[in-house]
């Protein structure tokens, strides 16, 4: 307390976020936890199946969500062992796929699964296999609940996020959908005094590197102390931007050519985006997608949006930089 009284000028008030953004934070963080829990349980299912039913892993490896997909959960709940899966007829498989929500290429998928389950494979002893099956069925029940929880919280998060005025700014950036935008807003809040400069936001997100100097030695390192939730959302943002924006892809490719690994190149792209986001939030502007196509000639590195902009729309990649 004495330090606070004598050095009040070096402190600042805690950020005061609106009630709306606080509610978004509750849902977004809960949804993020549900997604991580879903992946953790899916990994446990995969590890268990590797012990006695590797054909199931192979059968669902091309599914969009892998073992967490509705198809995998439905079929494993009905036939959690190789013996039971081998007895599934094509008619039964068809009914299970329809129950899981599949609408297209059902017959082709039925043939694939029937062939995969009917083929020869290494098996455990019958009673051991049955015991593994009971454990797998229990894990699938947990996985199903985790998937439903993640879907429910995602829908609730997206619905409330669209009510916030900053939603339009966040989703104007390539690679930022409503769910990613909600997770970013949940961590940075809507109190503009929280981050006086873009570098403060970058340090908080962990995208800005740390430079350590000792004598003639200078080392640039990845920032370890950061907001892990914001960093996770930033990785998703940067990765999605690679296909949403040719300029973002060009910047990523240049970083890789310069020697950065995949995570480092994405982190650098996220770092650039944060500078632009800070500017747009501070000025209440959205970005345009008019410069997402690659112009001819050499491509410059991405820079912060600091050039003159219109009162309502800020170019994502300012001309002349």
Residue 185 sits in the same domain as residue 274: yes
Is residue 193 one of the residues assigned to a domain?
yes
168 three-state secondary structure: helix
Task: Choose among 64, 17, 69, 35: nearest CA to 153.
Answer: 35
* Rounded-to-integer distance, Cα 37 and Cα 40, Å: 5
The structure tokens listed for 180 are: 């990613």
For 268-313, the pLDDT digits (tens) are 999 999 999 999 999 988 887 544 433 333 333 344 333 333 334 4
Residue 192 sits in the same domain as residue 157: no
Residue 3: is its pLDDT beyond 90? no
Name which of 37-41, 42-46, 308-312 the model is least confident about. 308-312
Final residue in a domain of this structure, among 161, 180, 208: 161
Residues whose CB falls within 8 Å of the CB of residue 69, separated by 6 or more in sequence, listed in order = 60, 63, 100
Is residue 10 one of the residues assigned to a domain?
no
Residue 156 sits in the same domain as residue 191: no
Is residue 6 one of the residues assigned to a domain?
no
Residue 55: is its pLDDT beyond 70? yes
The answer to whether 184 and 230 have CB atoms below 8 angstroms apart is yes
pTM assigned to the model: 0.81
Is residue 305 one of the residues assigned to a domain?
yes
For 118-147, the pLDDT digits (tens) are 888 888 999 999 999 999 999 999 999 999
Domain span at residue 50? 19-161
Confidence of residue 214 (pLDDT cuts 50, 70, 90): confident
Average pLDDT over residues 223-243: 93
Characterize 270-302 residue by residue with b for buried, 16 or more Cβ atoms within 10 angstroms of its Cβ, and e for exposed: bbbbbbbbbbbbeeebebeeebbeeeeeeeeeb
The pLDDT assigned to 310 comes to 36
Final residue in a domain of this structure, among 161, 178, 197: 161
> Looking at the 3D structure of the chain, how many domains does it have?
2
For 67-109, the pLDDT digits (tens) are 999 999 999 999 999 999 999 999 999 999 999 999 999 999 9
The pLDDT assigned to 9 comes to 66
Final residue in a domain of this structure, among 135, 161, 187: 161
Residue showing tokens 């960093």: 231
For 57-68, the pLDDT digits (tens) are 999 988 788 899
The pLDDT assigned to 267 comes to 94
């Amino acid at each position: 307390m004495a330090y606070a009284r004598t050095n009040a000028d070096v402190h600042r008030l805690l950020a005061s976020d609106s009630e709306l953004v606080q509610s978004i934070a509750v849902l977004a963080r809960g949804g993020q936890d549900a997604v991580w829990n879903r992946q953790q349980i899916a990994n446990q299912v995969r590890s268990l199946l590797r012990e006695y039913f590797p054909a199931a892993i192979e059968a669902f490896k091309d599914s969009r969500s892998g073992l967490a997909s509705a198809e995998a959960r439905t079929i494993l709940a009905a036939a959690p062992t190789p013996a039971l899966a081998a007895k599934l007829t094509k008619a039964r498989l068809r009914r299970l796929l329809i129950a899981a929500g599949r609408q297209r290429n059902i017959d082709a998928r039925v043939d694939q699964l029937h062939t995969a389950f009917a083929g020869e494979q290494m098996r455990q002893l019958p009673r051991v296999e049955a015991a593994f099956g009971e454990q797998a069925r229990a894990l699938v029940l947990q996985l199903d609940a985790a998937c439903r929880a993640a879907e429910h919280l995602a829908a609730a998060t997206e619905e409330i996020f669209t009510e916030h005025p900053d939603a339009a700014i966040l989703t104007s950036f390539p690679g930022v959908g409503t769910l990613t935008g909600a997770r970013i807003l949940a961590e940075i809040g809507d109190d503009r005094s929280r981050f006086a400069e873009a570098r403060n936001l970058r340090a908080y997100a962990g995208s800005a590197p740390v430079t350590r100097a000792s004598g003639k030695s200078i080392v640039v390192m990845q920032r370890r102390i950061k907001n892990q939730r914001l960093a996770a959302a930033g990785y998703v943002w940067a990765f999605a931007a690679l296909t949403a924006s040719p300029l973002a892809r060009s910047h990523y490719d240049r970083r890789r050519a310069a020697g950065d690994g995949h995570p480092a190149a994405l982190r650098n792209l996220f770092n650039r985006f944060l500078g632009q986001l800070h500017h747009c939030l501070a000025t209440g502007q959205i970005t345009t997608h008019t410069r997402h196509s690659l112009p001819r000639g050499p491509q410059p590195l991405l820079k912060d949006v600091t050039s003159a902009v219109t009162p309502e729309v800020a170019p994502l990649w300012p001309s002349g930089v």
